[in-house]
Amino acid sequence: MDNGEILTINNTNTAEDGKYLVLPSGELHIRDVGPEDGYKSYQCRTKHRLTGETRLSATKGRLVITEPVGRVSPKFTSGDKSRAFDANGGDSITLLCPAQAFPAPAFRASRKSA
């Protein structure tokens, strides 16, 4: 982050209530984005599990926050319209619903029997 500030996020931590979450894909999810999150530099550092070798991404990302103008209908940010998941009985799964809207959308899950 800027001004020498470093934010370390453990990608094995899956706490649902944390502000920052690194997804298995490597994407950074920031919850409840506010002005304090904007205009900072975000950079990825990886660590090899066996050798301990670390690498820093060559580029940095910068979050620019804009205020919404009027209402915006929910839009899915992923191109996936439907997807099938396999799970064994007793397994836990997480289904992501990457949608954006203003005001923030409400989410509801439902189940259809095959």
Neighbours of 74 (CB within 10 A): 13
Q: Where are the domains of the chain?
A: 20-102
Looking at beta carbons, which pairs linking 40-47 to residues 24 or more positions away fall under 8 Å? Answer: 40/1, 40/2, 40/5, 41/1, 41/2, 42/1, 42/7
pTM above 0.85, yes or no: no
CA separation for the pair 70, 36 (Å, rounded): 23
Q: What is the CATH number of domain 20-102?
A: 2.60.40.10
Name 92's bridge partners.
Answer: none
Confidence check: pLDDT of 57 > 60: yes
Between residues 4 and 84, which one has the greater pLDDT? 84
> Which residue's structure tokens are 């209908």?
73
Which pair of structure tokens corresponds to residue 59? 């580029």
What is the 8-class DSSP label of residue 56? Answer: E
Confidence check: pLDDT of 38 > 60: yes
Kindly state the average pLDDT of the residues 75-88.
Answer: 71
Between residues 101 and 81, which one has the greater pLDDT? 101
Q: Percent of the chain, pLDDT > 70?
A: 78
Cis preceding linkage at 103, omega within 30: yes
Neighbours of 101 (CB within 10 A): 13
Q: What pLDDT band is residue 52 in, cutting at 50, 70 and 90?
A: very high
Confidence check: pLDDT of 92 > 90: no
Kindly state the average pLDDT of the residues 64-90.
Answer: 76
